[in-house]
Structure 1
């Protein structure tokens, strides 16, 4: 059976030693509430709930799945009771204003909460997780009347939210959205259409579900410029803010999926449902991106969750399972064979999982500080501040989402390999992690979509390469601080070369695009993965620098922890970071070999 233990030691290393969250919180208007004692108490509360309530439900709920009958969805045994505990603890409102019932703590603590809950039981965590984006969108674009009506219940957790974008004929290409919104004399709209793949679209956990829906007004411009955003509640709220009459939105079916079977993925039919415009007409996509960026960070956390859970369960198995003798000599002569952790290849897989999980956590927590600043811009109504930090976070978003979810699949594969044949058997749980990890690369846009967003939009169209120059300049400034440090020389030298190469590759691709029109699409995924490996390398170097400092200057009761940090960083630079070489060569290869073949020539099956 899968087990989960919240990695509090590693979490505290990042928030205290690496990123100094306490100093960061002093610059936030809600940071004074996040004093060390409060943060420790909250972290322990997250850990207890995740370890003792959510984790034991994970495998049994997967076996049971969700139940669908007559438009209603029943979640697996134990989910409702766990959700009630979640609401009772006030966990949904941790990062939202007190005026709506929240704790008014920084957004970063909410992301840490999401990591723990998601690692313990990702399908369950999706139910409250979808509400986060709904709340953020309403905070940013809702009228005061809409905020007063919906936010107290959403922040409390007794109501939940969804994001309704995808339709049968379109996923990423939202310009094809056909759902209609007909204006009514009372200022409301009648929403008609079908949305598919709607996570948490119907369930029995909350009293009401608030759908955020993309739809078209009559005579709206074609394409993405003609999309508006609407609030469509499952039950229309009464004047006193309670769930009233049933609205015209029903669940037509739930999907039978490869993984996350205990998370309801719904087909929703809107049949003249009453909707309320949020934001400006025909500018719904901009408002929805607030929701989508939140969801993309959350999906990156899913990648981390699968890395961590797979590693935590593969490690004890590798210590206990015995097979053959180590090539360097017998390690346990009194046993029938050596534990497989003594074999170099098994250590390669375990260290890869460890390096991925701890590197991913550092990347996400760094981005979480930007999310804090962005949330402050929303809370204070400072649009300029919001845009500034939203832009900064925008560079990280496709990397965190695309790169980390791909590594989540790799980490899950390594976990199965450590278990050997048992990794394919359900009772051990490793195949469950592998199944659940797959969807993360498709949520909120596939890896290819994230890659095009990074290279095509963020790097080339929007910044002409400046975003890469700026980011590598920050790495180089950091490298300069450690240029004469003998311990850090290996990391500094490798990062210096990669920063120069990253800029060169960016310029080459921009120049190649003048003649090779397909090169950006052809190179984008290689570019994303290259960017992710370099970014994670930078984070590992930073963690190694802190670890060396703690080891050399004393004052620590756990030198083994810091020594392991340094050793993992060395492994990453020796065995993982060289992957960038192949990616660099591949991304600048002309697109001709991809595009030359006639479509009819892909297969000859007659």
Structure 2
């Protein structure tokens, strides 16, 4: 096991120096917080993660959650994080004071959750899903629902889930058939099944509050007829107690990775006595769920960035300790008289480690940027500024979810390669991270769905206003970088990529304008890779600008080597990652169509 799983110094550099958390703290909502108090909070989360999360990450993989006698059995550390999650504000951190929360900026909460994810990615989901379910009730539920359920959820005594997926309807939520029949008693009778329910059952919560998408009897077809219900595992009996609510744990899925994070199959109303309470208005369920989805997708990107980070530190430690081979001499031959060199001295190993570094640190910066946009759209008073950051957030969210997930998986694969044969062995953690991260491109909308959302909706919304705003942000960074002699060439490269982006988008939008939407979206995933890569080049150039500024002004809060390492990483990204967009642009602007099903089936 690695001795360390994150670089705490880099996390704080990105949080305070690059993304200027202290500017966010100027908003009225956050006046009770300052950098010192948030530092103490993050330090306490790191200490808790060091003690209660990180030491158990391998053990939770080796002793996974399992189903027995109608219930799911999980590792005892789930009980620890549920209890401590309530006590430390890990569930309620961003909630209003009135709801029992700490009114913490999303940026700070994201940083704290990133630490936990990197320490042990099997555990934070239990509190994260409880937070998400409670958030839906707080925002859209009645006072009675809030009073009945939220306090026990944010304390960690009760768990919470979101129940969308059904056996016959995966990502196609318009095909949801779970039924809700109204009664004269203010509740609905719920019947149906839900699958892939993260944290859906375990022995360390007294109750589970399921947020269930269902169709009220007689509701319109498709997504317009879906409503949202609170469906507890145990319902209040009216006398201060709880009684079973006909919610059955059918099974727990055994998975490739994240084996300590249970994933349940739930049945509702098998005995005809499952009661649910409508959240908000009828037929608005999907709208409510997706208003919360930005936070969920930030969380997915954060989790993937965290696993990639932990994998980077594990492989970096190995490379610094493992002697093998010898460095080449000036003659191009190995000097067998000298001793073995550490593998970190081999250029190809350094290339793989640097790829891990730019993906993991860049992904963290992107996730923190999204959290900053979230804070600004929620707290700014100027309507035009609120709209600006809301549009920027909507545009980058598909990339925030996808880039860390897809590229994080590649980065972890590189980490496994650094270890060579040992990377494939269970003695070392890399193989587990390789398995754990693979779910992240699937969570909360697959890469294909995110890609269609980016190209088909986000780029074109408000007549392209979000894209204009993001382009302006990138141009501002290019102008800042151009002030520094040794960053000017990278600013120029990014500027050329902006022109290429305009060319690619213009080509693709032409199909939409002709009504050929299938062709327009058929290469949405290569477009996601193309646009995400360029967005990350912007993120890295911004990191380098702040590092360069600190070196020149002498206003350093970190060592000179620290800042120079960030500039070096930016240069690596521009040399090894950004040029991939040339090939992707060629794919995207090729007239030939090969993936749209035609009259003749050619899969033979």
TM-score, normalised to structure 2, is 0.94
Distance across 1 between alignment mates of 2:237 and 2:152: 13
Partner of 1:546: 546
Matched, 1:524 2:524: yes
Partner of 2:35: 36
For 1:447-596, what aligned pairs fall within 5 Å after superposition?
447-460=447-460, 462-513=461-512, 514=514, 516-556=516-556, 558-590=559-591, 592-595=593-596
| Cα 1:281–1:335 shift into 2, 3 Å | farther
Shift of 1:332: 10
For 1:14-33, what aligned pairs fall within 5 Å after superposition?
14-27=14-27, 29-33=28-32
Q: Is the CA contact (8 Å cut-off) linking 1:523 and 1:588 kept in structure 2?
A: no
Partner of 1:319: 320
Partner of 1:357: 360
SS in 1 for 2:72: strand
For 1:99-498, what aligned pairs fall within 5 Å after superposition?
99-237=98-236, 244-271=242-269, 272-327=273-328, 336-376=339-379, 389-460=389-460, 462-498=461-497
Unaligned regions of 5+ residues in structure 2, if any? none
Q: Is the CA contact (8 Å cut-off) linking 2:329 and 2:335 kept in structure 1?
A: no
SS in 2 for 1:198: strand
CA RMSD in angstroms comes to: 2.3
Distance across 1 between alignment mates of 2:555 and 2:483: 24
1:180-207 deviation digits (Å, cap 9, x = unpaired):
0000101110110000111111112222
Partner of 1:93: 92
Distance across 1 between alignment mates of 2:334 and 2:144: 69
Q: Is the CA contact (8 Å cut-off) linking 1:5 and 1:51 kept in structure 2?
A: no
Distance across 2 between alignment mates of 1:250 and 1:517: 42
Unaligned regions of 5+ residues in structure 1, if any? none
SS in 2 for 1:427: coil
Partner of 1:65: 64
Shift of 1:516: 4.6
Q: Is the CA contact (8 Å cut-off) linking 1:93 and 1:102 kept in structure 2?
A: yes
Distance across 2 between alignment mates of 1:432 and 1:366: 28
1:130-171 deviation digits (Å, cap 9, x = unpaired):
122212222221122222222222222222211100001111
Q: Is the CA contact (8 Å cut-off) linking 2:458 and 2:466 kept in structure 1?
A: yes
1:244-287 deviation digits (Å, cap 9, x = unpaired):
11111111001011111111111100014110101211111100
How many equivalent pairs are there?
Answer: 597
Shift of 1:393: 1.7
Distance across 1 between alignment mates of 2:254 and 2:54: 23
Distance across 1 between alignment mates of 2:159 and 2:597: 49
Greater CA deviation, 70-79 or 60-69?
70-79
Distance across 2 between alignment mates of 1:243 and 1:290: 33
Distance across 2 between alignment mates of 1:20 and 1:182: 50
TM-score, normalised to structure 1, is 0.94
Shift of 1:600: 4.1
Distance across 1 between alignment mates of 2:282 and 2:76: 42
Q: Is the CA contact (8 Å cut-off) linking 1:452 and 1:520 kept in structure 2?
A: no
Shift of 1:121: 0.9
1:326-361 deviation digits (Å, cap 9, x = unpaired):
235599988632111111111111001111111111
| Cα 1:590–1:136 shift into 2, 3 Å | farther
Distance across 1 between alignment mates of 2:494 and 2:150: 45
Q: Is the CA contact (8 Å cut-off) linking 1:304 and 1:361 kept in structure 2?
A: yes
Q: Is the CA contact (8 Å cut-off) linking 2:298 and 2:400 kept in structure 1?
A: yes
